[in-house]
Amino acid sequence: MLQPDYSTADVERFTALSIRRGAGLESIGRANEDDLRVVAGAMLLGVPEGTFDSEALERAVKGFLRDEADWLRAEPEELIALAKSWGLLEETDGGFVSRLEPRIDVSRCRLLDEIESAQVILEERRRRAREALQARNREVNAPPAPLIDDEADARFMAEAQKEAEAAGAAGEVPVGAVLVREGEIVARAGNRTIRDKDPTAHAEVLVMREAARKLGNHRLNGTTLYVTLEPCPMCAGAIAEARCARIVYGAPDPRRGAVAGALELFAVPGVNHRPHVTSGVGAEAAAKLLSDFFAARRAK
């Protein structure tokens, strides 16, 4: 039964086995008995040369189970018995001797490198599969695209712009929003963070709070939120939680925007609600109001 030769093919086979997380020796042997020899040989790549005592053997086996074979469900005693049964480990009066004859290009370092590379490849495959599944789920679960009325969008954005202008006149960053349901404005607001001494009092948050109160539901299904500036991460997260059907925003915000600017929050895995997004409606007027506001502030 002694087959002392250990080649790169054996290293590759052990690497392939390492994908089987939680496998035991019994299940490995049932599938292919020679795989047990491969496992025993891989373990012996880490033992000292020549004769070594039981403590050195135990350290080597435990290191093997910790590193190369962290995927293997086995006890040190099982592996030692396995190596003996294949004639690869011999017990002598002076201790133990490995009868494994690895080829010149086979070593424990080579085995560890192969396993590490395989794990990187495996994780990349899993990541791609996960992303493909998530993309498919988003596609399947996406709500139907709403009918777009450009004239209505322009009209409601003009109302949001009025709220932004009022906020700017009050010393707030001039951003305004309205929330619409079935063609009617349910709530409207401009930024109030300074006046309310509330860092969350952005226009989007305020209209969602008011609409939820009026409609008697924290879910704002079937609504459209119009806002003059691309929502920040906080507001985009709140929009997802409220399940607004659609967002229409004016000026983009490359530095802090969370829809298509600094990040795309609605594309993040785990964000289950993804509203339909329309951008650029009234963008020029919204951007000018903001730039004029900050220019005046800097001039003071």
CA–CA–CA angle 156, 254, 258 (5° rounding):
65
CA quadruple 206, 211, 217, 223: dihedral, nearest 10: -110
DSSP per-residue letters across 126-145: HHHHHHHHHHHHHHHHPPPP
Type of residue at 294: F
Q: Tell whether 273 is in a known binding site.
A: no
Which amino acid is located at 287 in the chain?
A
Residue 133 neighbours by CB distance under 10 Å = 11
Indicate which residue of 204, 210, 264, 284 is catalytic.
Answer: 204
- Residue 244 marked as a ligand binder: no
Q: In angstroms, what CA-CA distances link 291 with 175, 283, 288?
A: 12, 12, 5
| 276 in a known ligand binding site | no
276-279 and 246-251 beta bridge pairing: parallel
Q: Strand, coil or helix: what is 32?
A: coil
Query: Is 204 tagged catalytic?
Result: yes
Annotated binding residues for Zn(2+), as ranges? 202, 232, 235
Active site residues: 204
Q: Which residues are annotated as a binding site?
A: 202, 232, 235
